[in-house]
Amino acid sequence: MPNRRNFLLLIAASLLPTAGRLVRPALAQADGHASDFVKGIGDKLVAVVNGPGSERDKRERLTQIIDSGVDVEGVARFCLGRFWRNATPEQQKRYMELFHQVLVNNITSKLGDYQGVRFTMGRAQQRDDNDVVSTVVGRPNNPPTNVDWIISAANGSPRIIDVVAEGTSLRLTQRSDYASYLSRNNNNIDALINAMRQQVAQAG
Amino acid sequence: MRAVNLRHLLVITAVLLGSLGGCATPPPADDADAVADFKEANDPLEPTNRAIYAFDDALDTVILRPAAKAYRFIVPAPARAGIHNALTNFGTPVQLGNDILDGRPRRAGDTTMRFLINTTVGVLGIFDFAKNWGYPDHDADFGLTLALWGLPEGPFLYLPVFGPSDPRDAIGLAGNAVMDPFTWVGQGTTVRALDWSRMGVNALDQRERHLDDIDSTKKTALDPYATFRSLYRQHRRGQVEDLRKDKRATIPVWFPESGASDKVTYSPAVSPAY
């Protein structure tokens, strides 16, 4: 949904033929913002992954990048879907902590696989209120992958809310994983929390 | 390109039909959320599918994955890329046939130019020069064609050996086999041996390309079967979407007024939120 300012801008654009030219740079700038944001995060990630430093050091720095660049809370809520509403505040809190750990582990555990990673920036678009920035990620031993970064600025500053690799959304996939696990465990949220705790423990 | 011999397909279909026993029990009708989940999963054969998944997974763990790892270890990356390109080049007839059935002349043109360039300059398809000369590769198979024609994907299916699928893509596999000249050319032992070799190398190539992805999915998913189900569907829907959106005109780019459809157009209604 376009917000009010944009709506007014749109009316202005349709009334004044010259205003149409004013809107265009504004749009281009917005795309630039999202692209710059993704490029900034991408550069930081690549620098950490390919750079020097101990494994622990790298993990710490990756965690910082994730915390500042990803809307972890929003993603966590999305992944639990309707079960978020059914969960007790205590369950919500534990789930949120575990989700954060699982996410960080999933990303940092791939440090080795991603050694030598490179990425090239593609175009930026707007889709439903969000910015979609396309990139191509290349890593040794693997074919180049098209990765779209979905950026939302709903909470003020831009944050990653989803990563879509070759048409597959990370958060949608995670949600269906949790939904299926829950449906096979009597929709018991504690069972999910225990399973996540085990995952975290195994990742050590 | 997954080209399959028609005979192999018939055997596998028979095995599959024989094993269709278990059906998922729908949740009670008064539990609206659970019913919605059940419909979204759209997997009425889930118990059977899970059994076949377990079978395929065991087969993969024992045979295909180790073979793919060995393939990666023994064959250096540039050689693997060459083999992959050559296999893609072998897939031209099926790809071109589907481009035409899709009514996508620019895609058919890309496929034709790719074949002409890569078969000659690219030494029998080993090098993909066409990609950098403005003729990128794209996905085309009969499952996608059926999707474009409006056939719904239907419930989820897990096929023996072939893995995640749906009725539309299962028909698509058969369609691809029918469209593949290698299905029809020759009857001799040599031809059959070459045919099987191509299938084998194809399997190795595909599996090797997904070694890291599949390993990490299995490691991070609480329910790998459900995760692969979701991944497969999203991936196929993305491919269908790409095919649907590819409405490039047949008029050359240098022709006046023709560039418009090639360019990305930003709708003025969506504007920056910050």
Position of tokens 């966590």?
A76
* CA B176 – CA B182 distance, rounded (Å): 11
Is B217:B235 a contact under the CB 8 Å cutoff? no
Token pair in block for residue A102? 């699982």
Compare all CA atoms of chain A with the CA of B40 and give the residue at the minimum distance: A176
* CA A53 – CA A57 distance, rounded (Å): 6
Judge: B229–A176 Cβ closer than 8 Å, yes or no.
Answer: yes
- Quick one: pLDDT at residue B36? 80
Average pLDDT of span B204-220:
92
For residue A55, name the pLDDT band (cuts at 50, 70, 90).
Answer: confident
* CA B162 – CA A34 distance, rounded (Å): 40
Residues of chain B found within 8 Å of residue A113, distances taken between Cβ atoms:
212, 216
**H helices within A16-70, ranges in order?**
19-50, 55-69
Q: What pairing do the DSSP bridges indicate for beta strands B163-165 and A130-138? A: unpaired
Chain A contact for B272 (CB, 8 A cutoff): yes
ipTM: 0.78
Report the helix count and the strand count for chain A, using DSSP H and E.
8, 5
- Quick one: pLDDT at residue A24? 43
For residue B173, name the pLDDT band (cuts at 50, 70, 90).
Answer: very high
Residues of chain A found within 8 Å of residue B77, distances taken between Cβ atoms:
140-141
Quote the distance between the C-alpha of residue B150 and its chain's center: 18
CA Rg value for chain B: 21
Which of B219, B231, B270 is opposite residue A173, by nearest beta carbon?
B231
Beta bridge partners of A163: A149
Residues of chain A found within 8 Å of residue B264, distances taken between Cβ atoms:
123, 125
Is A86:A193 a contact under the CB 8 Å cutoff? no
Does the structure show a pLDDT above 60 at A17? no
- Quick one: pLDDT at residue B7? 57
Identify the weakest region by mean pLDDT among A134-143, B49-58, B106-115, B207-216. Answer: A134-143
Does the structure show a pLDDT above 60 at B50? yes
Average pLDDT of span A29-57:
85
Average pLDDT of span B240-250:
90
Judge: A168–B231 Cβ closer than 8 Å, yes or no.
Answer: yes
3-state class of B175 per DSSP?
A: helix
Which of A13, A141, A176 is opposite residue B226, by nearest beta carbon?
A176
Q: Between the CA of residue B140 and those of A49, B1, B4, B99, what are the distances in Å? A: 35, 8, 15, 7
pTM: 0.81
Is A101:A66 a contact under the CB 8 Å cutoff? no
Please indicate whether residue A115 or residue B47 has the higher confidence score (pLDDT): B47
* CA B166 – CA B274 distance, rounded (Å): 42
Chain A contact for B212 (CB, 8 A cutoff): yes
- Quick one: pLDDT at residue A9? 45
- Quick one: pLDDT at residue A16? 43
Does the structure show a pLDDT above 90 at A110? no
Burial B232-241 (b: 16+ CB within 10 A, else e): bbbbbebbbe
